[in-house]
Each structure stands twice: as C-alpha cells, then as structure tokens.
C-alpha cells in the first residue's frame, strides 16, 4: 500500500494526532519504545550551509515497526523545493510483513507541531495570551494551526523572520502581526522555528516567566538560543539522550535536561521550577512520533469505506 502526501493530508488531523503524540511521549519516557539513535549521512552535494543530509530513523512500538528516511537540503528553498522530504515504511512487528509505505514530508511537519502542542498544553504559563514566532516557514504555519486547538486563550501572534516577504505572507494568511525581533521575543510563549546556525533568541529579551518552544536548527552544531536563554531556564526535552546528542542549544550551552515531557505528563517528574520561572522545551524530532502519525494514517486508509 502506497499512501501519497495528498492522501495523508486528507486522512491526518491534529485533533487525532495531538492526543496520540501525547501518549507516545509518555510511552517513550516509560521505556515502552525501542528507538536507536538516528543515523545521519552528509550528502556532500555542496559546501557549508547548503550541504544536505540524509537520515534513517527506525523504531519499534506496540504491534508495529517503522523506519523513516528523511533528507534536509537547505538550498532547496532557492529552487522552489521543500527543504525536508521523507518516506515512512510501516511493518508488522509480529511477522515483519510490510504494511504501508507513505510520503513522510507532511507527517514530519504535522507531528513536529503536535509535539510542541503537547508541550505547550502541559507547560503553558498561567494567563499566557501572546505567542511570538521567530521564523516564517512551513513549521510556523503548522504550529499556529495546531496551537489554536490547545490554547483557547491565545489572543496575539507576533512574527519575525529574516525574510520579510515570507513574514508578510505568513501574517496575511494567519492573522499574525509582523514585529521586530525584540517584541516577538518578549511574548508569553516564544516559538523558534528557524534554520539559523547561530543564536537568534537572547535570554535578555525573554519575559521572566516565558515558555520557549525551541524547534528549529536541529543539529549538534546548530543553535537558536544563547547561553543565557538556556542556562536561566528549566530545560525540558522529548528525550534526554536525543537532546544531549543532537541539540546544539543543549550541547554548546552546557545546560542540563531536567525532565522529559513524557515524565511530566505521566507525573513521574516534578513540574518545572527555575530561578526566574522560565522554561525551555527543546525538540529534535523522534521516530516514535513519525510512527504514531503513520499509524493513524494507515488505520484511516485501511478502514472499510
């Protein structure tokens, strides 16, 4: 069974995905998921920032096994192509039988926003009403759509990016307001979804009780947050091992991951406490999230019409 992106779009909803991702994160932290580190190979297609990579992400959970192959080519944006592309294969854990192959680009987009939505719902500061977004690409749009489902009190969306044309387009499409970096960073909740290799968010610009959802710049040598932002906050991650291995924000700042979001959701870890009330949730993306989304798509596709 092959499932195209067009079909994925018709079958996968945030209403189903967000609670499924929530349970998957709990299962991961409880040790019910077998997920080795992703293997990443550089493509060698270009020098510097435009050098793409190819990753393989296997996982076993419940009655299914899965593997995602994903590529990231930063230079594709200049060619009018998606920077991320992916394929996901599902297999039966009982027999090894291939069950489905599906396009994984939209799944990657949606499961990333769903993970952030789960963290947002669990960590949202009391009375928070404003969202600041650093970045104006695919993930910014996806997160706005998903956040509106779990954050009824959201009143203001401020967006900044280094590409004014993209920022204006995002604002027009979503009702957001284009602002300076400093204003976006001062919001109650700050979402970073950039591809910057160096920090764009400084801790000095954050409000004392800010929740930062750090999603972009995935890679051990890249970072979006400076040392002050990381070291003045209670740091939560999808996975300690993944963040410590794959997040430049964690590695270069020396910050410690103090809890996994699955532990907080399952009440096996205490709620965040930091010197000034700030919390950073760092996500790098995990295969269990792809498997969870792919399972929903496959089940919906397999239902009798």
Does residue 114 form part of some domain?
no
Indicate if the pLDDT at residue 260 is higher than 90: yes
User: Do residues 175 and 269 both lie within one domain?
Assistant: yes
User: Do residues 180 and 73 both lie within one domain?
Assistant: no
Q: What pLDDT does 74 receive?
A: 83
User: Do residues 247 and 169 both lie within one domain?
Assistant: yes
User: Do residues 156 and 259 both lie within one domain?
Assistant: yes
User: Do residues 174 and 250 both lie within one domain?
Assistant: yes
Domain holding 227: CATH number?
3.40.50.720
User: Do residues 160 and 227 both lie within one domain?
Assistant: yes
User: Do residues 92 and 133 both lie within one domain?
Assistant: no
User: Do residues 82 and 168 both lie within one domain?
Assistant: no
| pLDDT tens digits, 35-58 | 999 999 988 888 887 888 899 999
Does residue 116 form part of some domain?
no
pTM score of the predicted model: 0.94
Domain holding 82: CATH number?
3.30.1780.10
DSSP string, the chain: -EE-HHHHHHH--HHHHHHHHHHHHHHHHTT-EE-PPPEEEE--SSSGGG--EEEEEEEEETTEEEEEEEEE-GGGGGGTS-SEEEEEEEEETTT--EEEEEE-HHHHHHHHHHHHHHHHHHHPPTT--EEEEE--SHHHHHHHHHHHHH-TT--EEEEE-S-HHHHHHHHHHHT-EE--HHHHHTSSEEEE----SS--B-GGGS-TT-EEEE-SS-BTT--SB-HHHHHTSEEEES-HHHHHHHBHHHHHHT--EEEEHHHHHTTSSPPP--SSS-EEEE----HHHHHHHHHHHHHHHHS--
User: Do residues 74 and 26 both lie within one domain?
Assistant: yes
Q: How many domains does the chain have?
A: 2
Does residue 118 form part of some domain?
no
| pLDDT tens digits, 118-162 | 999 999 999 999 999 999 999 999 999 999 999 999 999 999 999
Q: What pLDDT does 36 receive?
A: 97
The residue-averaged pLDDT of 255-268 equals 94
Does residue 119 form part of some domain?
no
**Looking at 73-87, 124-138, 248-262, which range is the least confident one?**
73-87
The residue-averaged pLDDT of 224-253 equals 96
User: Do residues 65 and 204 both lie within one domain?
Assistant: no
User: Do residues 232 and 260 both lie within one domain?
Assistant: yes
What residue numbers bound the domain in which 8 lies? 2-107+288-302
Q: What pLDDT does 231 receive?
A: 96
Does residue 169 form part of some domain?
yes
User: Do residues 130 and 257 both lie within one domain?
Assistant: yes
Q: What pLDDT does 273 receive?
A: 62
Does residue 65 form part of some domain?
yes
Does residue 117 form part of some domain?
no
Does residue 225 form part of some domain?
yes
| pLDDT tens digits, 192-209 | 999 888 999 999 999 999
């Amino acid at each position: 069974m092959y499932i195209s992106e067009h079909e994925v779009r018709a079958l996968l909803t945030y209403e189903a995905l967000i609670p499924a991702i929530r349970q998957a994160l709990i299962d991961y932290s409880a040790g019910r998921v077998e997920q080795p580190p992703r293997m990443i190979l550089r493509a060698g297609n270009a020098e510097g920032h435009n050098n793409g990579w190819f990753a393989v992400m296997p996982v076993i959970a419940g009655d299914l096994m899965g593997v995602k192959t994903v590529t990231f080519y930063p230079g594709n944006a200049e060619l009018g192509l998606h920077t991320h592309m992916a394929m996901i294969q599902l297999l039966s854990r009982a027999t090894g039988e291939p069950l489905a192959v599906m396009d994984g680009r939209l799944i990657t987009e949606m499961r990333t926003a769903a993970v952030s939505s789960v963290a947002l719902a669990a960590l949202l500061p009391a009375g928070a009403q404003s969202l600041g977004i650093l970045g104006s690409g695919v993930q910014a749009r996806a997160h706005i759509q998903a956040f509106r489902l779990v954050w009824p009190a959201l009143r203001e969306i401020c967006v900044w990016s280094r590409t004014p044309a993209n920022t204006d387009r995002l604002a027009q499409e979503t009702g957001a307001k284009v602002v300076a970096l400093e204003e976006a960073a001062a919001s109650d909740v700050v979402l970073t979804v950039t591809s910057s290799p160096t920090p764009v968010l400084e801790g000095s610009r954050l409000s004392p009780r800010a929740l930062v959802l750090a999603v972009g710049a995935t890679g051990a040598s890249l970072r979006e947050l400076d040392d002050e932002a990381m070291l003045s906050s209670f740091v939560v991650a999808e996975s300690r091992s993944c963040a410590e291995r794959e997040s430049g924000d964690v590695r270069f700042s020396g910050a410690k991951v103090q809890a996994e979001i699955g532990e907080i959701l399952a009440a096996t870890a205490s709620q965040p406490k930091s010197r000034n009330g700030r919390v950073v949730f760092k996500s790098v993306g995990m295969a269990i999230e792809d498997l969870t989304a792919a399972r929903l798509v496959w089940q919906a596709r397999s239902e009798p019409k």
